[in-house]
Every structure is written in structure tokens, then in C-alpha cells.
Amino acid sequence: MPSPLSSSRRLLALLLLLGAGGCRKAPAASEDYAQAHARFSAVYARRLDDAFVDPEMDRVLAQLKEVPGDSLDAASAVALRKRIEDGRAAAGRRAAQQEKDRAALRAPAASDPRGFDIPRAQAPLKIEPVLPEDAGVAAAGPSVGTLERDLANYRGCFTSGPPVTVAGKGALPRYELVDRLGCRQEYPAFADRLLLIEQGKVAIISSKSAVRRVSADAGM
């Protein structure tokens, strides 16, 4: 039969073990994650998909890496990092496609096998008619005179495309509405519009149906 002393020792050891288990700290929320998430939300609200290539995202990623692996926000931090990295990869693919389109514009070809309305040196595009400044689209979007850099302020809904050759002006940078439901709902008047840039601002707003291919000697 165990002595009272040995029984007391076993009971004391059991109490010490239980006490050690009860003193473990519960996982805590991460201040680094809270700040990184707030910064990400602010940039994304302003630039949407273009937010992923904003320099501010470098700070977001750096702060997410500081989130402890045992915090309550560890899994959320990993998910947000993946979202940013995937967004950057998608932005890189879009940029590569735009560069590919620009290269196709510079390459000599009698016609575009893809059927795109891309200007060629021997068959430039002509815009007519040009919409006047008060053509009814400025109230819900950019207008003639809007700075090119300010187009990013329209919820990221205007994206650049291949330049368009305009009679008497040469090749002008081109913007058009992003094919996204939210953008079509926000700026419905621009669904069939081209915005052409000259000297850093919108110089021409034209219907896409007004763009036609003409020969180089067609009186331009």
C-alpha cells in the first residue's frame, strides 16, 4: 500500500502539470496583419486590379511576412500574400499581352489575321466624326481635357490599348472601357467609345464604329 507521503507527491506533481497546461497563452491577433490588411484595402479601393502593381503593395507584403506563425491571423496573412502574388502575376500577363499588341502594330503586315482593328503603316486608321466635348459622356466619366494620369481615378475602368493613327495627328495613345460588369454599369456611355490621348490629356472621344481603315493615299 502506498505511503501517504508518496501519494501526496503524486498529487502535487499532477497539480503542477495541470497548472502548466492552464498557463499557456492563447494565440493573439497580429497588429502587423491588421495594419497590412488596412493598407491593402485602401489601395485596392482606389485602384482595383491595378492595386497589385502599386509600390505600396511592397510594404503590405513586407508587413505580412512579420505576422507570427502562431498568431490568430497567420492563415489570413498567408491567404492575403497569395492574393497579392496572384494579382501581380495576372498584371504581368496583361502587360505582356499589351506589349505583344504593340509589337504587332510595329511589324509590317498586309492585314491582321486576328481581325483586330490595329493600324498599319500602309493602312492607317481614320477617325470621323470626332465627338464634341459636350457629347453627353463627360457627366459620367472622363471628358475631353481629362489628364491621362487621371484616368486611373475612374475605378481602374479604363485601360490602354494599341495606338491609333489619326489623320493629321499621327499615332495617338488609346484607352477604352475595361470589359468588366462593374465598369459597364458605372460608365455605360463608354462601352463603345475610344479615348485618344494627345499631349498628356484626352483629345478625342470617338465611337468605335467611327473607326475605319483607309489606304495611305486616301486623302488623309
Tell which wins on pLDDT, 33 or 137. 33
Cα 42 to its chain centre, rounded Å, is 13
Contacts of 190 (CB under 8 A, 6+ apart): 137, 141, 157, 158, 176, 177
Give the CA distances from residue 120 to residues 109, 172, 204, 216, in Å, rounded to whole numbers and listed in that order. Answer: 7, 13, 20, 9
Per-residue confidence at 69, pLDDT binned at 50, 70, 90?
confident
Per-residue confidence at 165, pLDDT binned at 50, 70, 90?
confident
Give the CA distances from residue 95 to residues 50, 84, 91, 100, 102, in Å, rounded to whole numbers and listed in that order. Answer: 11, 16, 6, 9, 11
pLDDT for residue 3 is more than 70? no
To the question of pTM greater than 0.85 for the whole model, the response is no
Tell which wins on pLDDT, 120 or 57. 57
Q: Coil, strand or helix: which one is 15?
A: helix
Residue with cell 499557456: 24
Dump pLDDT digits (tens) for 84-108. Answer: 888 888 888 888 888 887 777 776 5
Lookup: cell for 166: 489619326
Dump pLDDT digits (tens) for 107-152. Answer: 654 444 444 444 444 444 444 444 444 444 444 789 999 999 999 8
Where do the domains of the chain lie?
27-107, 118-213
Q: Coil, strand or helix: which one is 39?
A: helix
Q: How much is the mean pLDDT over the chain?
A: 76
Among 87-96, 103-112, 165-174, 190-199, whose mean pLDDT is lowest? 103-112
Averaged pLDDT for residues 61-85: 87
Tell me what pLDDT residue 25 has: 65
User: Which residues are paired to 175 by β-bridges?
Assistant: 160, 195
